[in-house]
Amino acid sequence: MRKNTLFQVVSQHFCDNLIQHIAKRDKKSLKAAFFFGIKDNNSLIQSQSITKGLNRIIMLSLVKRAGYLAVGVQTYGGGLWHTWFDRDLTVAGRAMIREEKGGSVSYSHRLVRIEEPIMRVPTLASHLDRGVNDGFKVNTQSHLLPVLATSVKVELNKEFAENGLAEKTTNKSRHHAFLLQMIANKLRCQPDQICDFELQACDTQPNLVFCFSFQMRNIWNRVILNLIMALIDATSSDNDLENESGVRMVALFDHEEVGSNSAEGAGSLAMLDALSRITYSFTSASKMLAKAIQRSFLVSADMAHALHPNYMEKHEESHQPKLHRGLVIKHNANQRYATNAVTSFIFREIAVKHNLPIQDFVVRNDMPCGSTISPILASGVGICTVDVGAPQLSMHSIREMCAVDDVKHSYEHFKAFFHKSSQLDTKISVDT
């Protein structure tokens, strides 16, 4: 799988599967048995964070140091930053392009990904840092600047010399002409047409079977794809919805790693607005939204910490999720996760009925617990929620690791959930 940003994920997996976009200002009504996405700057407001531990190219990225051209970046979220050193890096994201036709000027964004390696963050030789193996400490401001090229090489290359095309752009004082020209070549436009861009540094090493991946949490590509495909496959025929009393939905949010307080984050009104719009497309009854929320069930799909063979003491001895053993239900008494007995039972029962493996995770009492967007959504919207995740190693590394079997398990579990959760819910009573 290619290592892309959220923009490529939306384009590839939503648009390619005939999911219809509806702009926020669009008055189009919704109809049953169709897929819809509420579109906001190509970020579909439809279940968990899709950016994690990244280096993002900053607005003024032009850096020159000791004869090198470096690219200014800003760390995003909590990454294992030492894993970014000595990696062949590239960039991907989107660019704002100015286009002129018949004297009329328009602006649009285009997706871009440079396939070949163009940057690298070199480590310091051990001869110059004798204590490096006693503790490698990264200064994220000064040590994480990717090197793009040497100044001498650029000067010798006439395409990127001072009189080159890229020097004519208004961005020449903000970004290296060398970088702008590469982006322009990829977009088949002139450098001076590039008004701005939103790019992320990416590892170019292909994903491999175990599977190792560039930032599985960064786009948690497989979970997102599994959610989308499970929704599509669970709703692929008229018979699939014949006895469905509810609405099947996948919600994807941005900015989880930095607090979710953004227009596209779980802390915004996006979820409630989407639920309102869906509900009132079927009925105008004023109290129907509240009733629908009370009858709804949310699965917060994220990742989970698999037991590490070299650090087994980091897990609670009775709760040690393993690779190949299926999705993990995550529990926390302090509400870092939103799972409760009812939601845990429903998700587990679906696994049992479909012969799918399932595991549980509880953090040690003497260690802090991470969190997800589920407490935000559960408290902000009032939906009963279960926190689940696929087990993985090397979380937040540039190269994360999970088992292929668990990718398959997650798809099968999500699909079974879409098929059976409504039926199972009618058999459960928690009010008596």
Domain ranges in the chain are 10-52+215-425, 54-203
pLDDT band at 49 (very low <50, low <70, confident <90, very high): very low
pLDDT band at 41 (very low <50, low <70, confident <90, very high): very low
Residue 286: its pLDDT value, please? 77
Q: What's the rounded mean pLDDT across residues 252-256?
A: 80
Q: Are strands 194-203 and 212-214 parallel, antiparallel or unpaired?
A: unpaired
Strand order of the sheet with strand 89-101?
A: 104-113, 89-101, 194-203, 54-65, 68-76, 147-150
pLDDT of 240 > 90? The answer is no
| Percent of the chain's residues with pLDDT above 90 | 31
Among 90-94, 120-124, 248-252, name the one with the lowest average pLDDT.
248-252
Q: What's the rounded mean pLDDT across residues 99-117?
A: 90
pLDDT of 374 > 80? The answer is yes
Residue 292: its pLDDT value, please? 87
Residue 38: its pLDDT value, please? 46
Q: How far apart are CA 309 and CA 320, in angstroms?
A: 11
Torsion of CA 151, 156, 157, 162, to 10 degrees: 70
pTM over 0.75: yes
Residue 21: its pLDDT value, please? 63
pLDDT of 188 > 90? The answer is yes
Residue 22: its pLDDT value, please? 64
Q: What's the rounded mean pLDDT across residues 415-423?
A: 88
Residue 205's φ and ψ, nearest 5 degrees, are -65, 130
Residue 308: its pLDDT value, please? 94
DSSP type of residue 161: S
pLDDT band at 253 (very low <50, low <70, confident <90, very high): confident
Residue 44: its pLDDT value, please? 32
Q: Is the peptide bond before 195 cis (omega within 30 degrees of 0)?
A: no
CA distances from 200 to 112, 197, 219, 319, 385 (A): 11, 10, 12, 36, 32
CB 98 within 8 Å of CB 61: no
CB 387 within 8 Å of CB 317: no
Q: Where are the beta strands (DSSP E) in 243-364?
A: 297-305, 327-331, 358-362
Residue 271: its pLDDT value, please? 87
One-letter amino acid of 2: R
Residue 42: its pLDDT value, please? 37
CA-CA-CA-CA torsion sign (338, 343, 345, 351): negative
Domains 10-52+215-425 and 54-203 are alike in CATH topology: no
Residue 14: its pLDDT value, please? 59
Q: How far apart are CA 296 and CA 383, in angstroms?
A: 6
pLDDT band at 43 (very low <50, low <70, confident <90, very high): very low
CATH 3.40.50.300 fits 54-203, yes or no: no
Q: Which fold has domain 10-52+215-425?
A: Aminopeptidase (3.40.630)
Among 24-38, 342-356, 384-398, name the one with the lowest average pLDDT.
24-38
**Placement of tokens 């549980």 in the chain:** 360
Residue 84's φ and ψ, nearest 5 degrees, are -85, -10
Q: How far apart are CA 250 and CA 337, in angstroms?
A: 19
The average confidence (pLDDT) of the chain is 80
